Amino acid sequence: MFTLPTTFWSSAAGGNGANWANYDGTGDKTAVEFSASAIRYCNFAEIDDTRALLVYRGATGYLRARVCTVDGAGDVTFGTEAVLLSSSIVNANVALLDNTHAVAVTEVDGVVWALAIEFSGTTITTVGTAVTLETFNPSTGALSVAAVSSTEFIAGYASSTLGRAFYGSVSGTTVTAGSGINTSFNNSNFNYIAPLAAGTAIMLTNVNSGSNRLGAVLLSVSGTAPVRDTEIQLLGSPVIANEQYIARIDDNRAIGVWTQQNDNTSWAVVITESSGSLAFGTPEQFNSSLSEYTSIAMPNSTQAVVTVGIQNVEIETTVIEISGTTLNALTNYTNATTDKEYVTNIQVGTDTVLIAYEDDNDSSKGKVISARVT
């Protein structure tokens, strides 16, 4: 049976570790630089209690990566930068397959690519050959990937206005492309995906019930293709739901977040799967600002740490408590001020969340803040 390849679920699912209700931002570490060259499209995957894999567009626009290590004091260091793809990319996302392998997806000149990475300690040891998933013009609104087993993944993205899901398999660092399906049919510019139980995943998208209606789609794997099992509408009326993101809670639950352009608010909801059907809890507002970037870290299964980039203003983080399908948003805290772009976060163990971003006020350099709670 497929088990997520980190210590997260074994240590955190029972509620062990730090209590993020105590988070107040005062333990945040000073930002450290991981790229002196301008960066974009940064994204994390947790490796274990001390390491995370960071992918991003770096110098010359190439897809690059580093292993980030966090010590007992929460200080971050970086392994040697590796070039994953020597082409000018648009967007990037990464998912862990096992404790030494990950899969990354990216876009080059309107084509979606996938490649596998092998790492040891703080070194990226092998980079596999990039393989084409789709050859037609995808949108750059979203690009994401979820591991549905230790050797399989589903990538999510948009082509024109159609949501897409594409299956791929990995052996070592060799990727084999399967096939793809449409997951939505109207104005679907955001298609973020998270794993559930083995062989299944859930995607936030625009459902086929009218334009600008936020929904969730349950996906499974059949042979070398994804299957669109069912969908559910999350909002009862048309809403421009931008900057979506979704993260796994456990085998049957995920937490989704979005920002509503019509009233400049940000919301979260728990989505559940049971016997192939989807349901959702009561949405919870967690921010009264219009976010430009949104990301969810899960240091344990009862507390989500949501980090957003407020347009041209600052980075803010909010802890949201989870009880079944009920959410309770706590206080917003500011992690950094002024214009920060491409904001993303990830848990490393149970007491640290890393926040990566492009610093528009410092030559677009790549930086990481270590947010801490004890």
| pLDDT one-digit tens code per residue, 144-203 | 999 999 999 999 988 766 788 999 999 999 999 999 998 876 656 667 899 999 999 999
Q: Is the dihedral of CA 114, 354, 280, 259 positive or negative?
A: negative
Of 130-139, 240-249, 356-365, give the range with the top mean pLDDT. Answer: 356-365
Q: What residue spans define the domains of the chain?
A: 27-372
Burial label for 363, CB within 10 Å (0-12, 13-18, 19+), is: exposed
Mean residue pLDDT of the chain comes to: 91
pLDDT value of residue 206: 75
Mean pLDDT to the nearest integer, 336-353: 96
CA end-to-end span of the chain? 33
pLDDT value of residue 240: 75
Of 82-96, 97-111, 223-237, 267-281, the least confident:
223-237
- Report which of 286, 133, 146, 149 is spatially closest to residue 217, judged by C-alpha positions: 146
- Report which of 142, 162, 149 is spatially closest to residue 207, judged by C-alpha positions: 162
Give the CATH number of domain 27-372; options: 3.40.50.300, 2.120.10.10, 3.40.50.1580, 3.30.1490.20.
Answer: 2.120.10.10
8 Å CB contact between 103 and 175: yes
d(CA 46, CA 105) in angstroms, rounded, equals 16
Judged by DSSP in three states, 371 sits in strand
State pTM to two decimals. Answer: 0.95
Judged by DSSP in three states, 165 sits in strand
Q: Is the pLDDT score of 360 beyond 80?
A: yes
| pLDDT one-digit tens code per residue, 169-183 | 999 999 999 999 988
8 Å CB contact between 209 and 229: no
d(CA 323, CA 280) in angstroms, rounded, equals 13
pLDDT band per the 50, 70, 90 thresholds, residue 252: very high
